[in-house]
Amino acid sequence: MKRLAIIGGGSWGTALSIVLAPRFPELRLWVYEPDLAGRMARTRVNDLFLPDFELPPNVAPLSDLKTCVEGADIVLSVMPSDHVRRLYQQMLPWLEPRMLFVSATKGIEQGSLKRMSEVIAEAAGARFAPRVGVLSGPTFAREVARGEPAAVVISSHDPELARTVQLAFSGPTLRLYTNSDPVGVELGAALKNVIAIAAGVCAGLGLGANTLAALVTRGLVEITRLAVAAGGQERTLAGLAGLGDLVLTCNGELSRNRRVGFELGRGRRLDEILSGMRMVAEGVHTTFAAAELASRLGVEMPITTQMHAVLRGEKSPRESLRELMERSLKEE
């Protein structure tokens, strides 16, 4: 594996380019904003999404998809979930069956309710059946870029792909574990952002550790319930892509989704909060998709249901919290 193409020049895509650069002779980073790509090429810094971190010499920031993707051995996609299908359709002329495709996007496609690996498979499937894996785990971009040790999961139904990516990406500060349950990994990665919004709401309301512990524990229950109903494995949600990512995102000050919830808890409107954010908080869209998916699969998700109502402006955070506490009593 000599050539890596990373599609998405936000904070996470940039951090991955920094940590993976020593593992590849050639690394191309596609950046949506041409002016930002130009600045990054000159200054070697992503001043918009990940300032204070210098790009390694072998990272080439580009704004042209063809130049970025053509000839790559691995295509690692890190774009927001609502852009995945469109970008893969645009890249299609330069994609090849020999390439390995890895999704590091955490979300569910609006409307279709498909996971990102399914979206990639459909988009590339117009020409060939792609080999797709999923990368997920408890990671904040700034900490990865700083070289702090982190562990993630590479999941695929294709064990050879998972092993190849594991060997290609693992290094002194990033450790990869293989996993054969992309359904559980992707839904765990997406749904933890919903619970993180709820965790932020609790913090914004001034609530303490007791409330957060209960929220995280019961949040994991409903994430697992939905993932299993969709075909995932329960044990996956006890691992890095489930519990690990959930704990990080619900507790970490760097979590964008937790920040959204915190501001909601303080009484701010959702549109006002989102308009002031430079980067995407995937949990907002995921909450709507998760509520719809839960309804489709007949799965009870009380925290998600309440967050859905709060985001729609139908209930206040305090009202939703009260309803959660006053639900009918039951066995754990």
Indicate which residues carry an active-site annotation.
192
Determine the 3-state secondary structure of 332 from DSSP: coil
Determine the 3-state secondary structure of 231 from DSSP: coil
* Beta carbons within 8 Å of 330's beta carbon, 6+ residues apart: none
**Would you say 165 and 100 are in contact if contact means Cβ atoms under 8 Å apart?**
yes
Closest-CA residue to 255 (of 279, 220, 222, 225) = 279
| Rg, the chain, Cα only | 19
Structure token digits, residue 102: 């890895």
Closest-CA residue to 186 (of 97, 104, 255, 275) = 104
Phi, psi of 326 (to 5 degrees): -100, 10
- 3 state SS for 150-218: EEEEEECCCHHHHHHHHHHHCCCCEEEEEECCHHHHHHHHHHHHHHHHHHHHHHHCCCCHHHHHHHHHH
Distance CA 247, CA 216 (A): 7
Matching residue, tokens 């719809």: 292
**Would you say 114 and 105 are in contact if contact means Cβ atoms under 8 Å apart?**
no
Distances (CA, A) of 1 to 9, 68, 243: 21, 16, 31
